[in-house]
Structure 1
Amino acid sequence: MIKRNILIASAFFSFSLGLAQQYGGMWIPTELNEKEMKDLGMKISAKDIFNTQKPSIKDAVVQFNGGCTAEIISPKGLLLTNHHCGYGQIQAHSTVQNDLLSNGFWAKNMSTELPNPGVTVDFIVDIKDVSAQILESTDNLQEQDLAKKIANNIEVYKNSQKIESYQSISVKPMYYGNKYYAYVIETYKDVRLVGAPPQSIGKFGSDTDNWVWPRHTGDFSMFRIYADKNNKPAEYSKDNVPYVPKHYLPVSIKDKAENDFTFVFGFPGRTTEYLPAIAVEKIMKEIDPARIAVRDVALKTLDEKMRADDATRIKYASKFASVANYWKKWIGEVEGLKKSNAVQKKVMYEGSLIAKNHEVKTTLDQLNKLYNDQAPYALNNAYYSEVIRNAETFALANLYSNYITSLEAGKMDEKGTTAFKTKLTSFYKDYSAELDSKVTAKLLALYANKTEAQFLPAGFDKYKNEAQNIVSFEELSKNSVITGRSQVNGAALNGDIEKAFSNQDKLIKTIKKDAVYQLFMSIKDTYMKTADPQFTGLQAKIDVLQKKFMAQQISTDKDRKFFPDANSTLRVTYGKVKGSTPRDAVSYDYQTHLAGVIEKYVPGDYEFDVPQKLIDLYNKKDYGNYKDKSGDVPVGFTATNHTTGGNSGSPALDAHGNLVGLNFDRQWEGTMSDINYDPRFSRNIMVDTKYILFIIDKFADSKWLIDEMKIVK
């Protein structure tokens, strides 16, 4: 239960009220907090940021491949995003013989830029508040009836709008369904790789430095958008031409100073700033620790093999980085929630709401009961979901399970089967059955030891011994068709997939008899019977009350300016360039430099090696126009912008709307800002534009790219 330490909470609450940006903010660009932005130093207007009547900054900002953010920095569609956002594409073009991850890639001209099938960028053409239309006739509806009516209203709205053939409309809920917004989206499908530094620059510090400040990572890569001859979206074609943007960002190489105004424009993924205290406590004490435990086992097993074998390193590079990213984030989140007294802070805020509106107490009492009732099911959900995600052999078994279910229900046609085979081919390409046999064996032991007996299949105790599992599961894996180590219809599923599917009835029967598949299904069936219905049923009730609690917060707290939680829609966050003092006797400056890269240099190391050419440039002090007043090249900087996943690759802009940095991370002590933004600790981390241009110009000898840009000196 929550320890309601009112004295501590009250002191902290009073202290936090005195700080600027108390709650952070991820603002819908049509509803900017313009006054505070200008008070903090912004020199342009909200209309310069988002305008549908004339070119504005929003026309230079795109969602990159459905996840990260990117920005246009030249009149020829040159696109800048993070190295880790383009990592999958860099990996896809890499082989052991031509390792672009290790060596980097720089096109010498447009004709040598590399196509990336399936990669897209999305422009937001317009944003409209459509709450009245979507919530029409829903006042007295509950749960399923409400969801059905809203879905119908969304379809009616979409069908009433006239858009171009290459556009789409997405309607998104805000404030837990109290409001709805429509987004007109324009998608471009020909995106080519232009340049990427070697990972010894783009991923410098790798997992050790991930989420950590001071940071010295040149986390950037470059792409280009191509369009048809009319500048409209088109599938890849050699006849396509560079896209001509409505607006592109000037790139500033001016020095930065502490307290300079900055704002970040991008597509933050997901935050939950308005949860009740009980929910935050469950995340901090139960859910995050469970997720961390599972990924800790998987990552250690993968890392051991990746360090010893280059082929495995390349095959698993992108997946490892993805798994490690949130593993470390959750560790920092737990520590940050504790350090910022997040639960007590929430308790105090809830008390202030109750004092103004006693109906809030009824809502919170109900939420407290529901979260406590849900706790054992939520914990099992966390372990189950993470085990199935990180034990890739079980993830494969789950894919087959879902396919067989759809097939037997008559919901799988030829098109669906083709899509499924394509998905399998992609999965097997970067899957090692032998390596994952060890991962899965270890996670079986963790699941058996950490999960309450009521959520486990009968006789599951035999999987508690990790060493024993490694031997027994390897035997199952070697004789399994789904791992690709045994054949069906005369072919392996990870080899000739068409032949393996040539007799589908036989394939399905063989999979159902597969020992790995049967083991997975025993876990899945038990979870679906003993935990999932209870978890989802209680969550549905929590969601209804959370919507009510959100509405009560807005109606009760008249002094607070609310912004909606992030949901992968276009947002603006703002703040100031600033260092931090995260712990007693520890102070961080806001800026790092190239000298710090050299200080961290460990020859031949997986994470801290440095290319010889970069060392030579440092020794010669051959910095060109890219040094700052210290005489060194600035690498990264921090500010108080409120960011999250999805903001990776987002432009960091100055008071005049010039590009000054590329957002790529947050400071570890402030990763809890997805749940509880704290102005004392929450810092976003950006690559300095001076370092980006320095690497392009001096290291990569690609001045032709610099010549495309508008440089603000």
Structure 2
Amino acid sequence: MQRLLALGLLFALPAAAEEGMWTYDAFPRAAVKAAHGFEPSQQWLDSLRLSSVRLAGGCSASFVSPDGLVMTNHHCIRSCVQDLSSPQRDYLATGFFAKELKDELRCPKVEANQLQAMTDVTARLQAATKGLSGAAFNTALKAEMSTIESECATGPEVRCDVVTLFHGGKYQLYRYRRFQDVRLAFAPEFSMAAFGGDADNFNFPRYGFDAAFLRVWDAHGQPLKTEHYLPWAKEGAKEGDLVFVSGHPGATQRQLTVAELEFQRDVAMPFALLYLAERRGMMREYASTSPERFRTTRAKLRSVENGLKALRGRHQALAEPSLLADKRKAEADLRAKVEADPKLKATTAGAWEAIARALDTYRPLLVEYRLKEDGYGFSSELFELAQRLVRAADELPKPNPERLREYTEGQVPALRMGLLREAPIPAELEVLSLTFGFNKLRETLGADDPFVKTVLGREAPEELARALVKGTKLFDVKVRKQLLEGGKAAVEASKDPMILLARRVDAQAREVRKRYEDTVEPVLKKNGELLAQARLAAYGTTGYPDATFTLRLNYGTVKGWEEGGRQVPPLTTFAGAYERHTGKEPFRLPDSWMKARGQVPGETPFNVATTNDIIGGNSGSPMVDREGRVVGLIFDGNLHSLGGEYAYVPETNRAVAVHGEGLLRALEHIYGAGRLVKELRANQR
């Protein structure tokens, strides 16, 4: 692995080359002009921002027509395709295309958000927490966040989130327009979206058609009319072209302390890696036993495989000695600047040491927290529904600032949508998942652990799981609605076994959460905020904040890289896809592609690699040219990009996208999606 660049110098100088996940209010327009001779105007930035969309489940998207058509990745809406499928119509296998507008199908779980305004609320949050530390700091911070969000959210169509930037150096209020009627217009076959499977995942050359189209519908049951959308480019991106990516990178950790990175490497990641590896093995074995089990498991298994490979790549990056060596040097440089400034020295006194002590406290707590509160011990949709209902009954009657963050007024629309979604829940898979979780609880905490006894009693894990799934009525949306609207009285009167389990374990789960939120989280937040303010004071604000699943913009070029003495070209072609076809999974092109062979010229670009600085969450981001036209659709990165969690390495870090020209031609000539193609070409320029 090439030596990774220093992580901690993000504020020392403007980011080098294409590095940077920039907020829209601080995009380095002058740097782009100096490097590429193009300076985006404010109108250009505003239009791209308002054309960008966040899918609340963890992906990005964009409006690509004035009639609410939204472009994203297939893997971002895979759960929707799964929810709309059945044994009789497996849309993951066959793909889906709504030939007419009326045939578009509503996605039960998909919410789309459009960022409309950003307001700095740093002073207000800092005033609310002034002089506080520990649990008092955390309580005051969350209460003020909830108050600000409730003041902003004027109705269910508005979503407001207080966003932490620079690890508490700044806070901003992001105001979104919320859309909950989102319908599926097109999705290819799962095998084509994920062509190459786990073997090709995070690799390049790639030949994945990981694209899908949704449509936002308004409150009157009509396609949303939107002023801001991205036109399609008549000519696709070529090697060397300047391109921009607007999306929602999930999380980076480029500004963490050395102690925090070592904790991730030595404690948090190993536990998660083992858990995911075991879960993958369990799901693979289950999926292999029947076609129906394969159908209901395929989407979730792919998500687990993707998460495992991504986490393994990040762990390998942290294990690279040069990464932490550079980080230690950057931290030492900051410490030196702090020591040289009496005011900074006074305000940050003991901050690094406090973070290290908090991590020592967290070390024996992490596994317990993950298993009891974070879902590792109850990996089940039905249990998650039961827990939400139990906690909603307790939390919603409280004053807004006193609630758990996920039950505040601003989160209620998403809470209701999640609880009342009309989506199938495979019973057999629920038994398997619950059994797995119960076994993890018992083998990790021990058979004599009081919490394990509370969960299992004298039952065997599989027997309890089967009894819970067989006895629960939470498959029925009407039952869930009655419990949600009936509140605490209805929940306490319920004899549903899944509700009873959620009630039985809730006190102990809340207790471990409270310990974390009182002894670990506030120390990391408070002292992280102090160090962030020190960086800002020492280096200025020429850098960018770590990713927080908020809208960011970056720029780059279409470019390959050198790997093992050979040059990796930045473009693949349709001819290459057919050459890669073996007739066997995961390198089997679906029948639609084989029947259409030759319909798309072989030299047509298919996938493209660029130097854009992206991370998980950017999936579904539009790639646009200097005219703001679509030239690609981000869906992955290469293996080197996984280290982008901690550092951007311009020599090898690459984003991977479906090429805009290839995407349009496949829609037209392979899938016969003429209605969508006409809609996209109507705005082509």
- The residue number in structure 2 matching 1:375 is 363
- Aligned mate of 1:21, from 10, 13, 16: 16
Give the aligned residue type for 1:609: R
Change (3 A) 1:536 1:215: farther
- Aligned mate of 1:70, from 19, 44, 61: 61
CA deviation after TM superposition for structure 1 residue 684, in Å: 1.6
- Aligned mate of 2:634, from 663, 671, 679: 663
Q: Which moved more, 1:119-128 or 1:268-277?
A: 119-128
Report % sequence identity: 21
Q: Residue 314 of structure 2 aligns to a residue in which SS?
A: helix
CA deviation after TM superposition for structure 1 residue 527, in Å: 6.7
CA distance in 2, matches of 1:601, 1:204: 9
- Aligned mate of 2:196, from 193, 202, 205: 205
- The residue number in structure 2 matching 1:615 is 594
Relative contact order (alpha carbons < 8 A, sep ≥ 6): 1 or 2 greater?
2
The structure having more radius of gyration, on CA atoms, is 1
CA deviation after TM superposition for structure 1 residue 128, in Å: 2.8
Change (3 A) 1:561 1:418: closer
Root-mean-square deviation over aligned CA pairs: 4.3
Contact 1:454 / 1:530 at 8 angstroms: preserved in 2? no
- The residue number in structure 1 matching 2:27 is 32
CA distance in 1, matches of 2:249, 2:150: 28
Would you say 1:709 and 2:677 are equivalent positions?
no
Change (3 A) 1:445 1:707: closer
Would you say 1:511 and 2:492 are equivalent positions?
no
Gaps of 5+ in 1: 1-7, 228-233, 464-468
TM-score normalised according to structure 1 size: 0.79
Contact 1:297 / 1:442 at 8 angstroms: preserved in 2? no
Give the aligned residue type for 2:546: D
CA distance in 1, matches of 2:32, 2:659: 22
- The residue number in structure 2 matching 1:676 is 647
Would you say 1:473 and 2:454 are equivalent positions?
no
Q: Which moved more, 1:327-336 or 1:359-368?
A: 359-368
Change (3 A) 1:205 1:162: closer
Contact 2:377 / 2:440 at 8 angstroms: preserved in 1? no
Would you say 1:547 and 2:518 are equivalent positions?
no
Gaps of 5+ in 2: 340-344, 399-410
Q: Spell out the pairing of 1:211-610 with structure 2 (5 A cutoff).
A: 211-227=202-218, 234=219, 237=221, 240-257=222-239, 259-339=240-320, 341-358=322-339, 359=345, 362-382=350-370, 388-389=375-376, 391-393=378-380, 396-397=382-383, 400=386, 403-404=389-390, 429-433=424-428, 435-442=429-436, 444-449=438-443, 456-457=449-450, 472-478=460-466, 480=467, 482-484=468-470, 486=471, 494=475, 498=479, 508=494, 511=497, 517=501, 533=515, 536-558=518-540, 561-581=542-562, 584-585=564-565, 587-605=567-585, 607-610=586-589
Residues 401-423 of structure 1, C-alpha deviations (whole Å, 9 max, x = no match): 664566589959xxx99999996
CA distance in 1, matches of 2:649, 2:327: 12
Contact 2:6 / 2:327 at 8 angstroms: preserved in 1? no
CA deviation after TM superposition for structure 1 residue 651, in Å: 0.6
CA distance in 2, matches of 1:86, 1:563: 29
Contact 1:455 / 1:530 at 8 angstroms: preserved in 2? no
- The residue number in structure 1 matching 2:403 is none
- The residue number in structure 1 matching 2:614 is 643
Contact 1:26 / 1:565 at 8 angstroms: preserved in 2? yes
CA distance in 2, matches of 1:410, 1:25: 40
CA deviation after TM superposition for structure 1 residue 351, in Å: 1.2
- The residue number in structure 2 matching 1:4 is none
TM-score normalised according to structure 2 size: 0.82
Q: Which moved more, 1:309-318 or 1:439-448?
A: 439-448
Contact 1:652 / 1:661 at 8 angstroms: preserved in 2? yes
* Number of aligned residue pairs: 655
Q: Which moved more, 1:355-364 or 1:690-699?
A: 355-364
- The residue number in structure 1 matching 2:122 is 131
CA distance in 1, matches of 2:74, 2:413: 32
Q: Residue 364 of structure 2 aligns to a residue in which SS?
A: helix
Change (3 A) 1:350 1:288: same
CA distance in 1, matches of 2:178, 2:51: 13
- The residue number in structure 2 matching 1:173 is 164
Contact 1:316 / 1:430 at 8 angstroms: preserved in 2? no
Residues 348-405 of structure 1, C-alpha deviations (whole Å, 9 max, x = no match): 101111222223684223322332342222344345566x347535x64565466456
CA distance in 2, matches of 1:409, 1:137: 23
Q: Residue 183 of structure 1 aligns to a residue in which SS?
A: strand
Change (3 A) 1:579 1:337: farther
CA distance in 1, matches of 2:142, 2:432: 44
Q: Residue 575 of structure 1 aligns to a residue in which SS?
A: strand
Change (3 A) 1:423 1:661: closer
CA deviation after TM superposition for structure 1 residue 574, in Å: 1.8
Give the aligned residue type for 1:378: L
Residues 131-162 of structure 1, C-alpha deviations (whole Å, 9 max, x = no match): 34444465434455555655666677668779
CA deviation after TM superposition for structure 1 residue 288, in Å: 1.2
CA distance in 1, matches of 2:414, 2:217: 26
